[in-house]
Amino acid sequence: MSNPYFSSLVNQQADGYTADEFSNYTQGGYLMGQPQRNICLVGHSGSGKTTLAASLLVRSGIKDPIAFDTSQEEKDRGHSIDMGIGSYEAKGTRITLLDTPGGDEFMEEMVKAVPVSDLSLIVLNGEKGVEVVTERAWELTGATKRPTAVFVNMMDKENASFDGAIAALNDHFQGKFVPLHVPIKEESAFVGVVDLLANRSIYFSDKSKQEIPSDLQSAVDQWRNFLIEEVSAFDDDLMMKFLEEEEIPADELTAGLISGVSDGGLVPIFCGSAAEDKAIDVLTDAFVSLSLTSAEQADAPCAAVVFNLAADPYLGRLAYARVMRGTLKEGTTCFDLSSGNKVEIRDLYAFGGTKQKRVPQVESGGIVAIGKVEDLAVGVTLAMQSDAESFPLPEFPKPVYSRTIVPQSQSDVEKMSAALKELSSTKATIRVERDSVTKELVLWGMGDVHLTVFIERLKNRYNVSLDTHQPSIPYKESVLKQATAKYRHKKQTGGRGQFGEVFLRIEPLPRGEGFKFINEIKGASIPGQYIPGVEKGVLEAMEEGNLAKYPVADVSVAVYDGSFHPVDSSELAFKLAARQAFRMAVDQASPTLLEPIMDLQVRVPEQYTGDIISDLNGRRGRILGMEPSGRATTVHAEVPLSEVQSYALDLKSLTQGRATFQMHFTKYQKVPGNLQEKIAAQAREAE
C-alpha cells in the first residue's frame, strides 16, 4: 500500500542501503553454522529493558543501534509498543535480543517473544523490585519452567537495593533464585560487583583489582555457599564434593549451573546499570553460556513458527519466524500447518545490529523475517511436510475494551478500510468489527492507551483520522407472552387497489433461538404465493423494532388466517399488512428490552477480592463462583455489557493495576423494568 509515511522512510533508508551490500549478504551465508541465542527482555514498564538492549548492542561495537523504539508513537511516549529485534555477535555466537514493551496493555508482545527465546531475562527496576508486569512475565517464563534469569537494573540509583529485589522475588514467586552477583557500593556509588561463580570482584574503573571488600565478605560467603548447594542438586558429582566440603572449581560450578538453568529449575540473578553500562558484559557471557538451545538438527525437515508480524517501512509486510528444526531456505515451498496452504519462501532477512540483511537460509535456532508473504497469521507453523508437528504459541489475551470509530472526512472513509485491515492484522489483541445491531464500526483492544496508540498510528502511517466514542449498546427487543393481532391493508387509488388481510400469533422463544416463522394457513384464506410477502413484512418489522427501535429477537410468528381479493391482492399488500399486524401483536405480548450480558473472569490478588465483588454487585453483576489460584483469586461473574464498558480502566484504578480480566459475550437477558423505561425514552429522544 502506498502512503506518505512509508515512502518518506523508504527514501531515507535507501541512502544507507546499497545494492552491493544487499547482494553481499545473499552470497555470504551470513548465519550458516553460527551458534544462535535468542534472548527476550521482559518486565515492567520503565525497568530499563530497551536501555539495556541498546547498551548491549553498543557494547558489542554497533555504533548507532536503531533497532528499538523506532516508531513515531514509541518516540513520542518514551515507551516501547512493539517487539524490538536487534542482534549482535559475541564469542562467535549470534545473540538476538527481543525487547518487549512492559505496558500491561501491550502484553501480546511478551506472549509472542517468550516461547521463541532460549532464555527470558526479567528486568527489574532496582528501586521498585517486583511490579505488576514482573508477575505477568514470571507466569510466562519461570512459572512454566522455561529458562529464565533476572537482571536487577538501576543499581546506580541511590535507593536501589539488590537484597530488596531478591527478597521480593522470593516473596512473590516460587522459584529457585540464585544470585550470581553481589553489588559493591562505595559511599553511594555503584563501583563494581562480586562475581560469586569466580569468587572475585570486578571493578568497573580498575580491571586489575579483584579483592572482595571486607565488609561484603560474610555476605559473599553466605551467597556462594547457597549457590553451590543449589547447583549441586543438579549434578551428583558436585553434590558429593559439596557434602564432603571439597573445593569446587568455577568451571564445574558453571557447568552445573547450566543444567540447572536449562531445565528451568534455577533462576540466576544478575545486577548492574543499563544506563551507565555497568556489569552488562557479564550478561552477554551468560547469554552465550547459560542459554542452551536444545539439540536441533540443521538437516532435519524444516519447521518454523511465525511469532510476529510487522509492516516494515522499507521491506513491506514481514513475518518473523523462529526456525525450530532443520534449515529454512529461500526458494523452497512450505506448508502453513494451520490452513494447509502452500507458502513460497521468497525473501529471507536476518538481523544485524542496525538493519535487516538478506540471507539465503537460516538454520534451526535462528530468527528470520520472511518477506512477501501476505496471508500468514501469528502463531502458525511452517513446515516442509504437511503432517509435521506444529509449535503452538500460548493463548493471547482477548481484547476487552472497545471504542466506536468514525472517519473524520470523506477521504478518511475511503482510506480507512485498507489501513485498518493492514494494521490490525499484525496484532492479535486488536480486532475491528461491524456490530450487527448498532451498525457501528467497533475497535477492540486491551485498554485506552492501546487503542489510542493504534489510532495515532493510523494517522501517522496512513494519514487516516478517526474520531472515537463509547459504543452504543446493542440492545434487542422481545416479547414475554403470546398474543394475536389482525390487520387489513386496503387501498383504493383509482385503477387497481391493494388488498391483504393477515392474522398473526406471536410467541416468545427461548433466549438465543432468534426467529421462527410458521405458516398455519389451511384452505385458501391466503393463497400460497402471498405467504413470502407475509414473512418479509414480519422480518422488516422485526428489524425496525417497536419499543425502542432495536431489532426484535427470540420470537415465533405464525400466520393462521387472513383474506384476499382476486384482483387487488399482491405480495406487497400482504407485506404491508403483516408489518402492521406484527407491531400490533408485539404491543399486546408484553414487549421487553434485552441487553447483552458478558461473562467475566477477574483474577485479583486475594486482598482485593472483597472490593471486586462489591464493585461487581454494584454493576448488576451475578457472581457465579470464586476459585483460588496461588495468591490470587479468580472471580467468575455475569455482568451486563452496559456496566462494564470501561471495566478495563476501572479495574486498574480499583487494584493499582494488580488484577487482570477476560470478558466475552455470553447471552441476551431481559433488562430490569425501571431501566427499560429509561432506555426506551432515550431511544425516542434520539430519533
Cβ nearer to ligand GTP, comparing 273 with 424 = 273
The residue written with cell numbers 549434578 in the block is 235
Least distance from Mg ion to the Cβ atom of residue 101, Å: 6
65 touching ligand GTP, by CB under 6 A: no
Least distance from ligand GTP to the Cβ atom of residue 598, Å: 29
580 binds, among Mg ion, ligand GTP, none (CB under 5 to 8 A by kind): none
Which residue, 159, 137, 152, is CA-closest to 44?
137
Single residue of 56, 62, 257, 274 touching ligand GTP by CB under 6 A: 274
- How far from chain centre, in Å, is Cα 417? 22
Q: Which three cell numbers stand for residue 133?
A: 508486569
Give residue 641's region: left, alpha or beta (phi > 0; psi -120 to 50): alpha
366 binds, among Mg ion, ligand GTP, none (CB under 5 to 8 A by kind): none
Which range in 42-50, 174-182, 347-355, 668-676 contacts ligand GTP by CB under 6 A?
42-50
71 touching ligand GTP, by CB under 6 A: no
Residues 6+ apart with CB under 8 A from 298: 326, 327, 363, 364
Q: Which three cell numbers stand for residue 680?
A: 426506551
Instruction: Please count the residues of this chain forming the interface with Mg ion, following the rule CB under 5 A.
Output: 3
The answer to whether the CB of 366 falls within 8 A of the CB of 36 is: yes
Which range in 45-53, 250-258, 298-306, 439-447 contacts ligand GTP by CB under 6 A?
45-53
Cβ nearer to ligand GTP, comparing 169 with 526 = 169
153 touching ligand GTP, by CB under 6 A: yes
Which residue, 123, 190, 197, is CA-closest to 160?
190
Least distance from ligand GTP to the Cβ atom of residue 88, Å: 17
120 touching ligand GTP, by CB under 6 A: no
Cβ nearer to ligand GTP, comparing 273 with 291 = 273
156 touching ligand GTP, by CB under 6 A: yes
Quote the CA–CA distance of 269 and 4 in Å, as a whole number.
46
Q: 3-class secondary structure for 5-64? A: HHHHHHHHHHHCCCHHHHHHHHHHCCCCCCCEEEEEEECCCCCCHHHHHHHHHHHCCCCC
The answer to whether the CB of 117 falls within 8 A of the CB of 40 is: yes
Single residue of 103, 129, 326, 399 touching ligand GTP by CB under 6 A: 103
The answer to whether the CB of 551 falls within 8 A of the CB of 590 is: no
Quote the CA–CA distance of 129 and 563 in Å, as a whole number.
81
Quote the CA–CA distance of 531 and 571 in Å, as a whole number.
8
Which range in 41-49, 178-186, 317-325, 597-605 contacts ligand GTP by CB under 6 A?
41-49
Least distance from Mg ion to the Cβ atom of residue 97, Å: 11
Torsion angle of C-alpha atoms 103, 104, 106, 111, degrees rounded to 10:
120
Single residue of 37, 49, 322, 461 touching ligand GTP by CB under 6 A: 49
48 touching ligand GTP, by CB under 6 A: yes
Q: Which three cell numbers stand for residue 238?
A: 558436585
Going residue by residue from 21 to 50, which x/- string records binding to Mg ion, judged by CB under 5 A? ----------------------------xx
Least distance from ligand GTP to the Cβ atom of residue 117, Å: 16
Which range in 15-23, 148-156, 227-235, 248-256 contacts ligand GTP by CB under 6 A?
148-156
Cβ nearer to Mg ion, comparing 49 with 427 = 49
128 touching ligand GTP, by CB under 6 A: no
**Which of helix, strand or coil describes residue 486?**
strand
429 binds, among ligand GTP, Mg ion, none (CB under 5 to 8 A by kind): none
167 touching ligand GTP, by CB under 6 A: no
Quote the CA–CA distance of 1 and 243 in Å, as a whole number.
67
- Which residues lie near ligand GTP (CB under 6 A)? 45-51, 79-80, 101-103, 153-154, 156-157, 273-275
